[in-house]
Amino acid sequence: AGMVQGLIHDIPTCQQLIERIIHDAQTIINQRLAGFQR
């Protein structure tokens, strides 16, 4: 792991990790779609 160890602040469960990925993806998609509605 080396120097990367200092960047780890939490260790989520698999469920938490998947939920974060889905949430982040939905946020990005919504932001990009908002740009098309102008």
φ, ψ dihedrals at 9, nearest 5°: -110, -20
Rounded Cα distance between 10 and 16, Å, is 11
Q: What is the Cα–Cα distance from 37 to 4, expressed in whole angstroms?
A: 40
| pTM of structure | 0.65
Residue-wise pLDDT for 9-35, tens only, equals: 899 999 999 999 999 999 999 999 988
